[in-house]
Amino acid sequence: MSRNPANPADNVETHVVYLGDGRISSRDTQFQNELEAVLNLNTPRLVNNRKATLDAFTQAIPLTGKLTRPKLEKWMARWSGEESAGDIEPFSGVVTFWLQKKLQKKL
């Protein structure tokens, strides 16, 4: 493996992109091949679970009002595990990726 997800020094999350359909992708061709062939991260079940997690999260947003930076930061802390001593929700990567994109727009 060119990058080890268990090694924080590899910063795998900076090399991964979550697509709206639930797939994981990387601009690094070698790592993309490893995501597909070695880690099998784009199997239909995982893709569907990621999509369902993101859909459930984004559908709940209109119930909470306007997207403010403090709300986005609070959700990021919860979904990234910062708020709960490292415990994270299943498929949280897709939500934290979405939140990070929204936070970048709020700069």
Q: What does the pLDDT look like over 51-81, one tens digit per residue?
A: 999 999 999 887 777 889 999 999 999 998 8
Task: Answer for the pair 79, 38: CB distance below 8 angstroms, yes or no.
Answer: no
Q: What is the mean pLDDT of the chain?
A: 89
Mean pLDDT of 41-46: 96
pLDDT tier at 107 (50, 70, 90 boundaries)? low
Report which secondary-structure segment, H or E, holds 97. Answer: helix 92-105
Cβ–Cβ < 8 Å for 27, 35: no
Average pLDDT for residues 78-90, to the nearest whole number? 83
pLDDT for 65: 73
Whole-angstrom distance, CA of residue 49 vs CA of residue 76: 19
